[in-house]
Amino acid sequence: MLAPVVHILPITRIRRHRLLPVAGRVLIRKGQNINPNDVVAEANLHPHHVLLDVAHSLGVPKGDADRYLERDAGDTVSEGDVLAGPVGWNKRVLRAPCSGRIVLSGDGKMLLEEEKPPFQILAGLPGVVAFLIPGRGAVIESVGSLVQGVWGNGAVGFGVLHVLIKKPDDILTMDQIEVDLRGKVILTGYCGEEQVLRSLSELPIQGLVLSSMDSALIPLAKEQPFPIVVIDGFGVLPMNSLAYNLLRTSSEREITVNAEKRDVYTNQRPEVLISMPVDQVVQEPRDTIVFSPGQRVRIVRAPHQAKIGTLIAIKTDLDVLPNGVKAKIAEVELENSKKIKLPLANLEVLE
């Protein structure tokens, strides 16, 4: 059976596509070294158009208006530029209400696309531009420690990691919020208070990596300008041991927090990366794996959610769970040597 794969790795090579949803301009070149906040590509995602009634503005019949046009489709204009006219004794003219580009003109009308700051797609990780995808973006390659999470608020950030977490089941409280967290990426446990998030926002910080979060905070978390990555899930959950040990020992190192939304079709996941220069060849992790005994697995649903263990055996026939549900069962040995049985569907392989 094919297994879902999640990566928590001390060192690996990763490649990430950074693509615009529409055609636009690519602003980097192949082989370029880039930082997480560098702009890869930009495009006008939400255009704003203004339809100008040339005939009405000049006070001429619709059929005559095109004779007075001063600018053509495709021209770039600034606010106040004369677009048509002058007409008559009082020299009536039509001026551009905003800066932009003339999209269409004719039949007494003119369509102007207002100039707006473009939507920009950021690199999201430090590395090298492996190759460009013309008009859409690029593929960026990086080497370092990688921890993938389950939820992100959509933002991207970069900063020095400050480790607040002391044990996997720590809870972030107001009394831990101090001014020296300003500008840092914070690693902590469970966050369940709205006030805590608001206080971090006021500092502000560069990023927040949580073991778990109260699901009621999702709307507020989405509003935050800094990235928030939840590693293990919603509700009070301890951080899984692999991520905890890897991140906790990375205090004061530069860390990239890419809190992009999970997309099952592109394999995009929220993740954190601690980049490091490495001379030796490092392989990319595998994404396609079939469940087999000996694999390290993470449990994705209660009970034992977020715990890590080793897959010991997979039963070939359906078995009955304690609640009566029939499922394909896996036997897993947890890190405390306890052996448990649970549905294979509730596991993902750590690679």
Chain residues in the site for other proteins (CB under 8 A): 1-2, 5, 21-23, 45-51, 103-104, 111, 263-267, 287-288, 300-303, 321-327, 342-343, 345-346
Q: Rounded distance, CA 137 to CA 281, Å?
A: 26
CB of 342 to other proteins, least distance (A): 6
Question: Of the two residues 206 and 305, which places its CB atom closer to other proteins in the complex?
Answer: 305
Question: Of the two residues 53 and 79, which places its CB atom closer to other proteins in the complex?
Answer: 53
What are the angstrom distances between the C-alpha of 263 and each of 46, 150, 267?
A: 22, 11, 6
Say which residue the tokens 């004794």 belong to: 89
Residue 213 pairs with which residues in a beta bridge?
A: 191, 234
Say which residue the tokens 């600018």 belong to: 71
CB of 148 to other proteins, least distance (A): 13
Question: Of the two residues 277 and 322, which places its CB atom closer to other proteins in the complex?
Answer: 322
CB of 48 to other proteins, least distance (A): 6
CB of 273 to other proteins, least distance (A): 19
DSSP-derived pairing of the beta strands 156-163 and 2-3 = unpaired
Question: Of the two residues 22 and 278, which places its CB atom closer to other proteins in the complex?
Answer: 22
Question: Of the two residues 251 and 266, which places its CB atom closer to other proteins in the complex?
Answer: 266
Q: Rounded distance, CA 162 to CA 254, Å?
A: 10
The reply to whether omega before 204 is within 30° of 0 (cis) is yes
CB of 45 to other proteins, least distance (A): 7
What are the angstrom distances between the C-alpha of 256 and each of 6, 87, 157, 242?
A: 18, 59, 6, 18
CB of 341 to other proteins, least distance (A): 9
Question: Of the two residues 23 and 278, which places its CB atom closer to other proteins in the complex?
Answer: 23
CB of 50 to other proteins, least distance (A): 6
Residue 332 pairs with which residues in a beta bridge?
A: 311, 340
Question: Of the two residues 2 and 174, which places its CB atom closer to other proteins in the complex?
Answer: 2
Question: Of the two residues 5 and 163, which places its CB atom closer to other proteins in the complex?
Answer: 5
Q: CB of 281 within 8 A of CB of 339?
A: no
What are the angstrom distances between the C-alpha of 311 and each of 1, 298, 332, 347?
A: 13, 10, 5, 9
Which tokens sit at 243?
């991520």
Q: Rounded distance, CA 46 to CA 118, Å?
A: 9
CB of 263 to other proteins, least distance (A): 8
Q: How many CB atoms lie within 10 A of CB 25?
A: 13
